[in-house]
Amino acid sequence: MRWRNALILAAIAAAPAGVAAAQSRAPQAMPTDANNPLVKALEACRKIPDAAQRVACYDAASAALVNATTSGQVRVVDRNEVRRARRSLFGFSLPRLPWFSGDDSQNDPDDRLDSTIKSAWLLKGAGRYRIVLADNAVWETTESKLNWIAPRPGQKITILKGVLGNYFLSVDGQVGLRGRRVG
């Protein structure tokens, strides 16, 4: 009993220090396009005082950028494309990706996905289902319930992100089953 009380007191005493340490950590800066040599070349052109030299510099730098995009070495992506990509990865556990830096959609609520079922089938002997969504994302239930009505194409599905990496799949308003994204 004394040990338990001592542990509780130690945890309470250490909690403020842990919170302060976590709050003081600044998020790590992600690499930006400013480090790209093509972007650096354009930035260097801005510093040239002579108009004719500056235009010549911009012509050369922009031609290099256009050639890189045409050849596939560089891809210019707008915020809507980044948001679509981020949304298409819902359910996968991925590291912070540098090409998402500067994208404010990372602040959007990332805990819910609403979609439509494209196809669904019962996995043999498991009582679990594999469900393909309208965007071709593939999910599987990781538990089974006897009173859960089987999912069918065309039904609405809501996937909610839970704690500790769990996801809950709810078809047409039914109680959600735990699930995971598999493709």
Return the sign of the alpha-carbon dihedral for residues 101, 106, 107, 108: positive
Among 51, 71, 91, residue at a domain's last position: 71
Among 19, 43, 71, residue at a domain's last position: 71
Among 44, 71, 98, residue at a domain's last position: 71
The predicted structure's pLDDT at residue 132? 93
Query: What is the residue-level pLDDT of the chain in tens, covering all 183 positions?
Result: 444 444 343 444 444 444 444 444 444 443 456 677 888 888 888 899 998 988 898 888 888 888 888 887 877 777 777 777 666 667 666 555 555 555 555 555 568 888 999 999 988 877 888 999 998 989 988 888 877 888 999 999 998 888 777 888 889 888 888 888 888
**Are 65 and 123 members of one domain?**
no
Q: Tell me, what DSSP letter sits at residue 78?
A: -
Q: Crossing angle of helices 51-71/37-46, nearest 10°? A: 160
3 belongs to a structural domain = no
- List the domain range (segments joined by +) for residue 55: 33-71
The predicted structure's pLDDT at residue 7? 37
Extended beta strands in the chain, E state = 112-122, 129-133, 138-141, 156-161, 167-171, 177-181
**Are 121 and 177 members of one domain?**
yes
Q: Kindly report the CA angle at 129 between 124 and 130, in degrees rounded to 5?
A: 100
**Are 122 and 177 members of one domain?**
yes
**Are 116 and 67 members of one domain?**
no
Q: H or E segment at 79?
A: helix 79-88
127 belongs to a structural domain = yes
80 belongs to a structural domain = no
Specify the amino acid at residue 145.
Answer: K
CA-closest candidate to residue 155, choices 128, 122, 118, 113: 118
CATH number at residue 150: 2.40.50
130 belongs to a structural domain = yes
103 belongs to a structural domain = no
138 belongs to a structural domain = yes
The predicted structure's pLDDT at residue 119? 93
The predicted structure's pLDDT at residue 4? 41
Structure tokens at 111: 């805990």
117 belongs to a structural domain = yes
Number of compact structural domains in the chain: 2
